[in-house]
Amino acid sequence: MLPSIEAIVEKDGRIRPLERVNVREGTHAIVTFLSEPNELVRNDTALLSEAALSDWNRPEEDEAWAYLQKGR
């Protein structure tokens, strides 16, 4: 399996991993640029999941799970 990690591109163009990477020196990598620095990448997952979860956004679902809200 090919591992994926999150990284930041520094001003000088160097790529700085946000977590420790255990690979040998000279290991090749493919870099995919996800967004501009001011965009929120982490919220993209919620937006991409919206269509898959839309079936749960119905009155019948609210009614079926209402008993879990009574303890609040």
The model carries a pTM of 0.42
Residue 40 belongs to domain spanning: 7-68
Structure confidence at residue 21 as a pLDDT band (50, 70, 90): confident
The reply to whether 2 falls in a domain is no
Domain count, the chain: 1
Does residue 46 fall inside a structural domain? yes
Total Cβ atoms within 10 A of residue 7:
16
Q: How many CB atoms lie within 10 A of CB 59?
A: 7
In a domain, 60, yes or no: yes
In a domain, 1, yes or no: no
Q: For the segment 27-52, what is each residue's pLDDT rounded down to a tens digit?
A: 898 888 877 665 555 566 777 777 77
- Does 19 map to a domain? yes
Is residue 50 a part of any domain in this protein?
Answer: yes
Would 49 be classed as within a structural domain? yes
At position 3, the amino acid (one-letter code) is: P
